[in-house]
Amino acid sequence: MSGIASIGTATNSNLAGAGPSINITGRADLTTISMFSNSDSDLKNGQHDIKRHEICLSVPQRQIQAYSAVFSFDPFVEMPLSLTRGIDFVELPTTDLNSVLDMNISRFYRDVGDARNDLEYILAKQQISLHSLDQGRNRCLLLSQDRLLKQGERLPAVPNAGAGNGAAVNITHRRNAVFLSIDEQEFTVPDPNHPGVWVPVDHKGAVGHGYPPMYKFVAVQGQGPNRANQHNSNVFGIHMDLRQDGGSHDIENMRELTNKLDSMIRYVMSVSQPKVHTEKNRCSAPIEPPDLVYAGMALTDACAHPQNGDTAVTLNIFSALTVDNGPFSILTNDDLMWIHDIELPDFEKDGMRRQRNLLDLQSILLCLHPATAAAFTQGITLRQAQFDLARNKTPIVNALKHKPGNPSRKTFLIAPQKKGFGLLHRSSIKDKMRHIGTSISSCMPSKRLDLVNGAVAKF
């Protein structure tokens, strides 16, 4: 493919409002920018100013405003895990795993953005991860949720065996860790390695009624470093009354699993709202992560802070434009979407989302049922190894963030909206919500791209 496929690259000019155009006036969203910004000094020195032809996003407004409030800098970067096990959160009652609570804002948006089906999407949105007190079933559930494994971490080849030199495997879990069991007695046996007790959940204070029996793991409150923070996370347990004689595909078993998971998710939604830590507050003062929606393409520069200049920005929501392409090759008539810079590890070089194990109701049932758990675990272990071997190990580089003048500033990126085969789930739920337009030229990564902005059915 030629590097000068687009009109903008070939002629060193831009398509600017070619054909019918719809432009609106917006303003820099100082409130959201301040919430996401690493420091106030970055805000005042222009790090978060809006630049021409950058993708602008907005947070859905909860009140009537004259102008759309938008921002164009991508605030989410990889953050270290800053919470301490047993101090900042209740330790999970698992014997062979070192699990750490990850409630970083970058992790939240990556999990939600990469959810491949409705189940993964609602679990990510409500910060729910699934576990088991049985080591074999827990291994199976972890492999079905490979986003819980730390990068480069692999479960040992033999179930119940230590990793490598015998050390426990390092994983992460979400704020609401839910343990699934087919033996209710598991929630009555004390664990000497994790001081605490399983207590029945009182549903009376929750919104609605009719929840199945649930349990909550309450850590023993000690003094000093043993006093775990009970507010950062919840550890729940729920019993699945599966029929042993009907096999894993029995209709009654699937109905039981569906009803229990539905009730569990509804209960978690009623008692725990999503909370995340930002770069500014890594260990305290978590915020509720807002939804982000496409607001248009900036046609003018604008200051994020009013003391630096005008905060008004002209937004294009429909016309032909020439803008900077992201890190993927794009062909004429490709649908386009926006993504976060931190999501690049979730993609392949061709713009398709990476292959990974998928979590669905059938996988959970196969993990829990004694007749199928061992064989299914072996199968998904093999698939994970195959996916790792097939994956292109060369990192996808965003060349735009190395532009002279502001190398540390990141913006939202353009990517092709690949459909893939539905059976393989190579695209996510969020991809469908992030559509911004259609390309009218082919383009190499980081070159000038011609597109019809806002080329969607409603226009």
Q: Give 337's pLDDT tier (boundaries 50, 70, 90).
A: very high
- Give residue-wise pLDDT tens across range 430-450: 998 999 999 999 999 989 999
Residue with more model confidence, 212 or 286: 286
At residue 101, the pLDDT reads: 92
Sign of CA dihedral 115, 117, 119, 125: positive
The rounded distance, in Å, linking the Cα atoms of 383 and 353 is 16
Over pLDDT 90: what percentage of the chain? 42
CA proximity to 340, closest of 265, 289, 273, 280: 289
- The DSSP bridge partners found for residue 298 are 315
> What is the average per-residue pLDDT within 419-439?
85
At residue 164, the pLDDT reads: 42
At residue 5, the pLDDT reads: 61
| 190, 347, 404, 422 from 418: Cα distances, Å | 49, 11, 31, 11
Q: Give 184's pLDDT tier (boundaries 50, 70, 90).
A: confident
Q: Give 210's pLDDT tier (boundaries 50, 70, 90).
A: low
Residue with more model confidence, 78 or 72: 72
Residue with more model confidence, 64 or 210: 64
- Give residue-wise pLDDT tens across range 124-176: 999 999 999 998 899 999 999 988 886 556 676 554 444 444 455 678 999 99
Amino acid at 81: L
Amino acid at 163: A
Which pTM value belongs to this model?
0.89
Sign of CA dihedral 413, 445, 334, 301: positive
